[in-house]
Structure 1
């Protein structure tokens, strides 16, 4: 299937979506591997003119990782999320982005099988986004979720808006971050 440039830029090429806020229930089955954690990183120690009130920092609810397996088929896993307990300010990720795209889709509109041509962060702001795999499994990304798509080769995945439509942010990282089939080093994702 051929896509025009605007479609690839929006969802198909790989981009990063930044974190949204909200409460959601788990939709992807299966526990994350013990080493696959998403947690706050130490940011700069900046003086704050306005101290926090002691409440919790709003944080991601779920993080999903898509990558190409050794067989060229996209694998999806849910990563463990560790929140920034007791911190006034927290940083998840600080990386150079190649492109940031904001866009919306009508309910159920989307793209057939495609790869993330660049590592991409996908962040649903309103509505939901459905990710489909080769075996028919579908996962729903909602407000509060983050997906990191680095299935840069192989068959790829299906992306479409959920039943109420979707407004998302996609952040594309440099193409040289694409891993080989069957590999992914998540430690490289969360550090510059």
Structure 2
């Protein structure tokens, strides 16, 4: 299962990447089709955020810890310090690991949005790219 990643290099520049969450097929009931599930990963806390309608741009920022964001509705355009931009729509998840350096810019869609933030422990190692 592929996931967009925002990370910072040692020189403080932010970039995009994709990581792969390996999955295994499981069946939860004999009469149901199996589905893909990832391994379990440690998390330190979970927050549900409401981004109000009309919040358009959040200036350059970093996060204090690695976070997996899960967008339930609305969309956002992220920009990294190297100038690359990516649009992220509802139903997508992003691993945000730029905890130092210049950070990233967020441009939100005009409607209100709900995003789940799963804080990952310090030293969380990114998955394979």
Task: State the TM-score bracket (shorter-chain normalisation).
Answer: 0.7 to 0.9
Matched, 1:169 2:116: yes
Structure number with the higher helix fraction is: 1
User: Which of residues 71, 79, 98 in structure 1 aligns to 2:44?
Assistant: 98
CA contact (8 A) 1:103 1:167 kept: yes
CA contact (8 A) 2:26 2:36 kept: no
Call closer, same or farther: CA 1:107–1:79 in 2, change over 3 Å: farther
In structure 1, the partner of 2:75 is 128
In structure 1, the partner of 2:31 is none
In structure 2, the partner of 1:77 is 17
Matched, 1:112 2:59: yes
Please show how residues 49-68 of structure 1 align to structure 2 within 5 Å: 63-68=3-8
SS at match of 1:175: coil
The number of aligned residues is: 121
Q: State the 1:159 CA deviation.
A: 2.4
CA contact (8 A) 1:140 1:162 kept: no
TM-score (ref. length: structure 2): 0.74
In structure 2, the partner of 1:186 is 127
Could you report, residue by residue, the CA deviation over 1:96-126 in whole angstroms, capped at 9, with x for unpaired residues? 3222111222244342111122111011101
Q: State the 1:128 CA deviation.
A: 0.9
TM-score (ref. length: structure 1): 0.53
Structure 1 spans left out of the alignment, 5+ residues: 1-37, 39-61, 178-183, 188-192
* Structure 1 CA distance for aligned equivalents of residues 104 and 65 of structure 2: 14
Structure number with the higher strand fraction is: 2
* Structure 1 CA distance for aligned equivalents of residues 38 and 112 of structure 2: 27
